[in-house]
Each structure stands twice: as C-alpha cells, then as structure tokens.
Structure 1
Amino acid sequence: MPGSSLPKHATRARYSVHGCRCIECRTAHREYEQHRTRQKAYGTWKPYVDAEPARQHVRSLMARGMGWRRIAKVSGVANGTINKLLYGVPGQGRPPAQRIRRETAERLLAIDYSAELLADGASVDATGTWRRICALVAVGWPKVRIARALGSHGQGLQLHERLVLASTARRVAELYDAWWDADPTEHGVQPAQVGRARRYASSRDWAPPMAWDDDALDDPEATPHQDARRAISSAERREEIEHLASFGTSTTEIAKRVGLSTDYVRGLLGGWGNPARDKAA
C-alpha cells in the first residue's frame, strides 16, 4: 500500500521541515546539532557534501512520476536549489551543482517514493491498478459496479493499459482496500452477477486478493501465489455451486452454469444430487 507522504521518522528532515516533535525526530535533530557543534569546535565541520547521491535520488523519484516541484514542496528545499541541482544555470554556462549543503541533501534523501506524493495529474505505472481491479472481479465484483464506484457512470472502465493518473491509482487502491474482503451480495450485487464476474475472471486467470501480498501488488516483477489462487478459486466455485444446489438446481444445470463438468460439480458437493432431477435435466 502507499506509504507516508512525509520524510521518515527519526530524521532531522522530518523534524526541521515538517515540524514533527516525536521522540525519534527530536533525538535525530539533537544528535545532528551536537555533531555539528563538535565538528565546528574541532574546525572540521564540512557544511557541503557531494551532490550526486541527492541528484540521483531526485531523478529516481521523477522517473516514477514525481515532479521536481512536488519534490521541492515535500522536502522543503527551494525550487531554485533543485533546479540548479538538476540542470545548473544554462544561461550562465554553469553545470549542475557538484556540492550542496548537507541539510539540503538530507532533506532530499529522506523522501521515500509513494503514490501519495504524486500530483493528481501525474502518470504512474498501471500495473497495481489493474491487479486490484482484476482481483476484485475475481471475488465477484462486476466491472460495471467497479466503474460506477470510480465515477465512470455509463462509460465502463476507461483506463489505459500501461499508465494511469495518480489520482485514479489512489481511488482504485482505496476501493480495493474497502472491497477486497467484502461480500458483494451484501452491497446489492445479485448472486448471478457475482457468479458471472468470477467466471469472467477465472477464464482470464485473474488472481484474487488472497493470492497477492500487499507489497507485491504494485511491483511489475511480482507474481501471485499460485496455491492461494487455486484455493480461492475452488472455495468460490464451491460457494456458487452450493448456492445453486440449495434452490434444487440439477447437477447437470449447475455444471452448465458454472462451466464445469458434471462429475466435478458432483465431487465438490460430496456426491450430492437429486438423481431423478438430474435424469430429467
């Protein structure tokens, strides 16, 4: 899930830029000031450090969709300082800064990437967004219901395959957090719609929420747990089959509706069936 939009706790950046006064941040600030005082007394204080680590970190954040102005706002570093760090002063023939103040470097390096940091209009990788949508369909949420919850009334899920807006990614993540373990039928979704959604997802081999670790959803290289995928699929099929069976539906008809063999359905029901009704079907 998305992390905090602030620098980490126990850092001077969190203390000085965002005013955190927790014990860890106060301790980090105090230790920094003590270290600086000692170094000044010894005549060894070096207020400037190599700019390259901070520059590479800023570029990494930008490559993931975070604009440099947003980075400046979150870190408390002036826009002009970041501009010089990245681009120098081309009009004066000055290259990107080679050294920056220690405090500036600390503030920039303290920023952890998070979707929460991105401006609404920033483009982000759509992997996690689609995985969450597919997982919701896999547990019975119809795509039209998901689209409606996201504000796409009558338009369906009009999302790009590779990139989505950061605001869209956040809305989908919030919806996923609210629905992943909820029963769709308790929210007005008809059992038949639930069954169709599950079959649609199963035919495309979409993994349900229980097959994903939270920290893997947004990782393009991650894969779902296959054992969990199979277990959830079997449990969901059994639930749907037993629901149909409770209405006296024949084994043959159930098999036809869920797209499975009659023997498989009978096996999931533990041999349950109405021979006369099955014969009639």
Structure 2
Amino acid sequence: MREHILKLGEFGIGYKRVAELAGVGITGVRSLIWGRQDPGPRYGEIPKRVAREKAAKILAVQATIENLGARKSIPARGAHRRVQALVARGWSLSKIAERLGMNGSNMSSFMKRTMIGAGTHRAIVELYEELWDQAPPHDEWRDKIAYSRSVEFARQRRWLPPLAWDDIDLDDEPPAPDGEGGIDEMAVELAIDGERVRLTPEERREAVRRLHAVRWSDGRIAETIHCNTKTVGRIREELGLEAFDQNELRQKGAA
C-alpha cells in the first residue's frame, strides 16, 4: 500500500490528491507515508493494517494524466498534436481557443510551450474527442475562408490530421507520410503478420480494413499492427465498420 502511494507521488500525484481521488481521509493516507503524526509513543509509526475497503479505493487510483492535479505540469506534446490535428481539419486556432475558454491571441505562445497544466491537457483531449471526426461549419463565406486558411496553415507547417499518429501522446516522431506510390502491399502484409512496420496513414487504414474483415476486435487489431486502440476505433468509424467484441466471438466459436 505504501509503495503504491509512493509510486503515485513519483508520478506527480501527491497524497492529498490520492485521498481526494480515493474518497478517503487525508490523515490516513499521510500516515501511510510518514507514520502517525499525533504526539505520543506511537509517533512516526506506520500502520501495519488498512481496512480492506479503504485499501481497495487507494489501490484503484492509478498513475494517469487524468488523475493529476489540474495545475501539475506535464509535457505539452500530446496537446499540441491534438490542436494541430484539429487545425488540419479546418478548425482555426481562434475557434479552438474560444471553445477552450482561452484568449485567441495567446494560442501562438501556447503552441510554443514545452509544459502545460494537466487540467489544460485534459480540456484539449476532451475537445479533440468531440471534434476530431468533423470539420467546422464552412458553408457561409466567412467560415469558408477561415476553413481554407486553417487547412493551408496546417499544410504549410506539415501538421498532421487525426488518425495520422499511432499514439498521439507517445510517438516520438510522425508516422510515414502518405506517398504518391499508393499502398505498399508488402508493408501492409508485414503489419498484419505482427511485424513492427512504419505504415503510412493509408496503409494503416488498409490493415485495419483487412483485419476487420476477418472479424477482429479493435484491441486485437491495435496489438497486431502496433498502434493505439483508439486510433483503430477512429479508423473503423471513418470506414463505417461495426465494432467486434472479441470475447463474444470466442464464446460463439466455442458454442
């Protein structure tokens, strides 16, 4: 229990935040780290036993960005890539800023930061999840101009659209760009066989399409072609394909 709390602390989730997320008292969590703080002969003594229900709540707190305090600084890379992807879809920086409750004039400096607050990261993730698969309204003349300028702005800076990344938070470098030569069949086949191959976005779509055709789940496809499960899900939705539950398929096969 103490080791779990200490590991959370190393990640940036302090004992007060752990108590808040677990819904338990701060004093009890603190005593698991530094021992009892009340004066007396048992001062500094670390409790040897914790109530089962309380222990389960604390152990349920995991080291994730979602659990960090809003002001805790984290790398801005994932947030920047999401903003860039939305701009590539036609969402202007000013419209993105407006939806985030930020000042549009600050977006340029925001995109240059190396660290941002976890709360800001979560807000951008939420907005990205809402908008990644849709372009902004651009039927009216003004909106059409803003849309075209945003797409061109992203193109000039080689900002990648949604679905281009294997894992938008963790990838060290961009995936292979779509080329003029079409799909490399060998690359797709190697990926389907489980080889770690750098696929273009179009090749990744083809791999998902083929593995889905044999009724594989998103998770199984993602594990095979070495990308994020959410990315597979988005590609599948983009292709208009239904989701498969691998557990259900196994049960049907065993029946």
**Aligned partners of 1:208 and 1:229 also within 8 Å:** no
Q: Find the residue that maps to 2:106 and give its secondary structure.
A: coil
**Aligned partners of 2:86 and 2:162 also within 8 Å:** yes
Distance 1:126 1:154, change over 3 A: closer
The count of aligned residue pairs is 177
Q: 1:149-182 CA deviation, whole Å, 9 max, x = no partner?
A: 2222343315372322232122211211221111
Q: 1:63-116 CA deviation, whole Å, 9 max, x = no partner?
A: 444332121122233312221222235888966737342624433222233444
Q: Give matches, 1:87-166, under 5 Å.
A: 87-88=34-35, 97=46, 99-101=48-50, 103=52, 104-157=54-107, 158-159=109-110, 161-166=113-118
2:136 to 184, 207, 218: 184
Q: Which moved more, 1:133-142 or 1:183-192?
A: 183-192
1:175 is aligned with what amino acid? L
Give the Å deviation of 1:226: 4.2
* Structure-1-length-normalised TM-score: 0.51
Distance 1:95 1:199, change over 3 A: farther
The answer for unaligned runs of 5 or more in structure 1 is 1-53, 233-281
Distance in 1 of aligned mates of 2:21 and 2:8: 12
* Structure-2-length-normalised TM-score: 0.55
Distance in 2 of aligned mates of 1:229 and 1:145: 29
Larger RCO (alpha carbons 8 Å, 6+ apart): 1
Distance in 2 of aligned mates of 1:218 and 1:98: 38
Distance 1:107 1:133, change over 3 A: same
Distance in 1 of aligned mates of 2:173 and 2:61: 24
Identity in percent: 30
2:127 counterpart residue number: 175
Q: Which has the larger radius of gyration?
A: 1
Q: Give matches, 1:29-40, under 5 Å.
A: none
1:200 to 133, 153, 167: 153
Q: Does 1:70 align with 2:17?
A: yes
